[in-house]
Structure 1
């Protein structure tokens, strides 16, 4: 899914954000939240993370219009100390509440060294990397996860254990001169399209990989679900009223200079990336070794300069969204 498309149209990032903001506003989302969400979706496109970019815009617009999530939530802080903050998303999408929790946790972590932010009663929050990258901009490292209660999907009945998943999570540390190390993933090691007998045969070959995958899923689900209050009666009531808002989120932010000088830590990231590329043998079928974060870093530089390559099928999807919400795509001018 997140490989560069073979056939595409290049669209400027500013046009994607402008169009996305207008569509979300037309669907009923408040201005500030619409602009924030459109910007985050565009950022995903800039990094080449197509699965969580503007191709998701149409689905979000329909979710808001059809009131599967609260279009105008009353986002409020439920509890706060000098080291944690707990935000109620009131049935809206998860982006704004989780970013609020992240921003507040950053301030606290800068002062106290470490802080935790969480949001409850929310919908999808997109790529977990949005919140980690926000912390990285402030000389912090962070972890983020989103999940539901009691499991990520409403049912896993008769599903293969190898497919158990699939909460998004992210860890990240910034570099000094080179790319950051950012592990922005979902917990299942198999992609949604990797199904069938050939894939199932791998289960016997490397069962340990699937046991690890199942363990990641279990821990991530608990941290982003039960741990942040999604097992409460209030959470169930919200999910019944707003069916697309049965999730919670967690962000842990640490001051990058907590144990060593910030410059030293950033240099350590640079060295790790460099040595990985110089010393290791690439995976079969690949020309080089890149640690997570490097491909996205390269894409962001290139796409900011040349425009984002949007697959033709996604261009059509954006056009369909524009027609339905009566917003003309600026790239058609």
Structure 2
């Protein structure tokens, strides 16, 4: 019998597997749990490009020294609303969770908190950290900056990065509004996912080494920006706010040919911002207004063939509910890699769901 194309796991089982794999390579138990939670949260919401398929690469980076499994993070500066965190190449979710903690703490003191985190690693789905602010009744904004991965309009090679931005707004009856997007047409993880499955990609996702559009994910050398100059310009501004503010520029040194971070890592930085909405007035009135806004948009006439007008985050919320019920589907190739890693590290494998 041929092996299945998809293996389905219950979310708690997949999260425990990811946590145990990270612990087995030296990550502290609490950090491993947070890292695993972030990855599986992405899988639950259907953002598989930022989920557990990344684990094999993370393990390589830990082995090479590109990710520090037990980082010595230090708060370099805390003054009024701002904080500067040296993440010491911590797992990205660990660094950005700490950055948002600092931002929320500052916002509780002075109504806004802005934490720049330098020397982080890949943070995954950054909406996860923006939602931490929403859970505290605040607006949250998260951005990260990394090496050139995306073309500048008119360029033939990578000039800026796919720098993501996420904004979370608390609501009342309605779940928090969550915008979570890359500045590229698609995130690099979607190209990685297509490479895993062998699926063709749209021709406006990326260009090959000669600068020509391609539908072959394996041929993509450079991603294309969302909305052309708008996505490229937004990415450049995130580099200013995250990297230049951190005193750790990424793009200019890379374009000048400076060597990358030693031992297999790449230079990355992040920003976490929390805004205390109660400072402007009644917080109950604010969330009621968010609910009213969401309901007003959803109630507008739909175009032919449209089932519903979805607000930011609703598609992911619906997928999360489905996958909590029926399990998380993993391509056979991803499951094979996780199985190999777990076996090598002596980690027990959970039983896939039937059907």
Same fold, judged at TM 0.5 (above): yes
Instruction: Could you tell me which runs of 5 or more consecutive residues in structure 1 were left unpaired when the two chains were aligned.
Output: 1-5, 202-206
The aligned residue for residue 194 of structure 1 is: 202
Matched, 1:324 2:341: no
The aligned residue for residue 175 of structure 2 is: 179
Matched, 1:297 2:317: yes
State the Cα distance separating 1:125 from its structure 2 match.
1.2
Structure 1 Cα separation of the partners of residues 244 and 74 of structure 2: 20
Name which of 293, 312, 317 aligns with 2:332: 312
User: Greater CA deviation, 158-167 or 187-196?
Assistant: 158-167
The aligned residue for residue 261 of structure 1 is: 282
The aligned residue for residue 8 of structure 2 is: 10
User: Greater CA deviation, 251-260 or 223-232?
Assistant: 223-232
State the TM-score, normalizing by the size of structure 1.
0.83
Higher helix fraction (1 or 2): 1
The aligned residue for residue 127 of structure 2 is: 129
State the TM-score, normalizing by the size of structure 2.
0.79
Distance 1:61 1:198, change over 3 A: closer
Would you identify which runs of 4 or more consecutive aligned residues in structure 1 move more than 6 Å?
Answer: 154-158, 196-201, 235-238
Q: Deviations over 1:263-286 (max 9, x none)?
A: 22222222222222221535x864
Matched, 1:213 2:231: yes
Q: Deviations over 1:86-111 (max 9, x none)?
A: 11111233222221121121122123
Contact 1:91 1:239 in 2 (8 A): no
What do you get for the CA RMSD once the two structures are aligned? 3.4
The aligned residue for residue 30 of structure 1 is: 28
Contact 1:162 1:210 in 2 (8 A): no
Contact 2:151 2:159 in 1 (8 A): no
Name which of 64, 67, 70 aligns with 1:66: 64
Distance 1:301 1:154, change over 3 A: closer
State the Cα distance separating 1:185 from its structure 2 match.
0.7
Q: How many residues align?
A: 318
Distance 1:212 1:58, change over 3 A: same
Q: Deviations over 1:267-306 (max 9, x none)?
A: 2222222222221535x86432212200111222332333
Structure 1 Cα separation of the partners of residues 13 and 140 of structure 2: 30
Instruction: Could you tell me which runs of 5 or more consecutive residues in structure 2 were left unpaired when the two chains were aligned.
Output: 192-200, 214-224
Distance 1:280 1:110, change over 3 A: farther
State the Cα distance separating 1:321 from its structure 2 match.
2.5
Distance 1:28 1:210, change over 3 A: same
